[in-house]
Amino acid sequence: MKAVDIIIKKRDRKVLSREEIDFFVQGFTRGEIPDYQVAAWAMAVMLNGMTEQETTDLTLAMAYSGEVLDLTGVVPIAVDKHSTGGVGDKTTLVVEPVVAACGLPVGKMSGRGLGFSGGTLDKIESIRGFRTDLSKEEFIHHLRTYGLVLTGQTGDLAPADGKLYALRDVTGTVPSIPLIASSIMSKKIAAGAQAIVLDVKVGAGAFMETLEDARQLAELMVAIARLSGRKAVAVLSDMNQPLGYAVGNALELREAIDTLHGNGPEDFYEHCMEIASHMLVIGGKVQDLREGRDLAEEALREGRAWQQFRTLVQAQGGDVRMVDQPELLPKADFIEKVYASQQGYLSAINAREVGETSVDLGAGRTKKGDPIDHAVGVVIHHKVGDFVREGDLLFTIHANDRSKLAQAKQRLLAAHSWSTTSVQPLPLFYGVIE
């Protein structure tokens, strides 16, 4: 077999066999197929697509390019969730403890923020001492002992995806739906997931800006799960406006803590209950979403989800005083409240603009490895559809660099759009794909 023949086949819109895909993935993982050939192949895939079977073969080849965690015997079923990324998306911080408190263990390997979209690891690391670098052995030990673990990717998980992603990033081939789907699913499978709830975001603050693209991605990921003997369900959720109110690491953690105490924003609470219910169904804990929701709400109401979260923090070395007294979390030096200078209905709060403003304040990174500031970010105070009066608090900026306040304010004002006539609130969900 020759790499060039595989590139030509994809260039000519033919379907690759599993053997060809395995050969190609193994070749580039070992460094035997050079980057220029991998880049040419990625562009052919980007332009000509892949079938569900090809994408599944690619996913499995990438998953098995390194170690694949086997969690059989550790948990009855390894349930995981994945969000395609958004602004204010602190769902994992609430859903994991809720689901664990319902008796379904969850071990999750999360990521860091990149660009306008935040990452769970950055948020949880607002807690002094919290370790996100657990070894594989620690991951398994924590999952077995506490039923809950939240860490970064351990060791050598799906190395082919890492290599391919780096090339896609510089060759204009990131937005290929088969390449995105296989990238996400290869990491989930390598982390041992047997049942996965996919939270596919759609809108201005999401990877997928149109419902059509989001649906295609969701359908393909669900198909990959089915064809590879795993279970998956995908929820299409809105990301036109931020989820909840807080955007920025410690600010979001605080909002997650409030939610665990039953005082979270309504949209975020609803979102968490929906995702938790799907996890409980797919994990076989309950028969249907109604039962899942009852169980999840009870775990929150009775404080068991909060206790699970506290246990998680303690078990991973975090300073538990910071979650018991969230005022001890990192705080910005400059907190500027901005009030509405007009009245009307809010017709848009552009999530991408809010996310990018938060990154500019220091909450995120523009390239991998950049340091971040846990304290800074933005809190919006309304949602699309709200009627806001002149003089009402519109948003609050948390900054450590005073010189950034003016620009952040301008950008956030421009991110809010107004209407003189009433506006429907945005839906939280656009559908479920099973």
Selected range binding ligand URA among 180-188, 278-286, 320-328, 394-402, rule: CB under 6 A: 180-188
Taking the complex as a whole, the smallest distance from the CB of residue 82 to ligand URA amounts, in Å, to: 8
If we measure between CA atoms, which residue out of 150, 149, 94 comes closest to residue 272?
Answer: 94
Respond yes or no: is residue 294 known to be catalytic: no
**HSE, side-chain direction, 13 A CA sphere, residue 228:** 34
Contacts with 22 (C-beta within 8 Å, 6 or more apart), sequence order? 57, 61
Selected range binding ligand URA among 97-105, 175-183, 314-322, 400-408, rule: CB under 6 A: 175-183
* Residue keyed to tokens 């003016």: 406
Alpha-helical segments (H) within 82-175: 91-101, 120-124, 136-146, 159-169
Return the number of the residue (107 or 119) whose C-beta is nearest ligand URA.
119
Contacting ligand URA within 152-171 (CB under 6 A): 165
Dihedral angle over CA of 215, 221, 225, 228, nearest 10:
130
Chosen residue from 180, 243, 299, 384 binding ligand URA by CB under 6 A: 180
Chosen residue from 99, 184, 221, 239 binding ligand URA by CB under 6 A: 184
Catalytic residue among 187, 188, 293, 416: 187
Return the number of the residue (216 or 314) whose C-beta is nearest ligand URA.
216
220 touching ligand URA, by CB under 6 A: no
Return the number of the residue (263 or 366) whose C-beta is nearest ligand URA.
366
What H or E segment, with its residue span, contains residue 408? Answer: helix 405-415
Q: How far is 300 from 202, CA to CA, in rounded Å? A: 28
Number of residues that bind ligand URA (CB under 6 A): 5
DSSP of 363-395:
SS-SSTT----SS-EEEE---TT-EE-TTSEEE
Q: How far is 346 from 23, CA to CA, in rounded Å? A: 53
Catalytic residue among 90, 123, 163, 168: 168
Catalytic residue among 161, 199, 258, 267: 161
Respond yes or no: is residue 187 known to be catalytic: yes
Q: Are strands 393-399 and 334-339 parallel, antiparallel or unpaired?
A: antiparallel
Chosen residue from 83, 126, 173, 183 binding ligand URA by CB under 6 A: 183
Taking the complex as a whole, the smallest distance from the CB of residue 174 to ligand URA amounts, in Å, to: 6
Residue nearest ligand URA by beta-carbon distance:
183
Catalytic residue among 182, 183, 237, 358: 183
Taking the complex as a whole, the smallest distance from the CB of residue 432 to ligand URA amounts, in Å, to: 21
Bridge-partner residues for 349, per DSSP? 416
Q: How far is CA 358 from CA 18, 237, 256, in A?
A: 43, 22, 18
Residues with a catalytic annotation lie at 82, 161, 168, 183, 187
- Contacting positions for ligand URA (CB under 6 A): 165, 179-180, 183-184
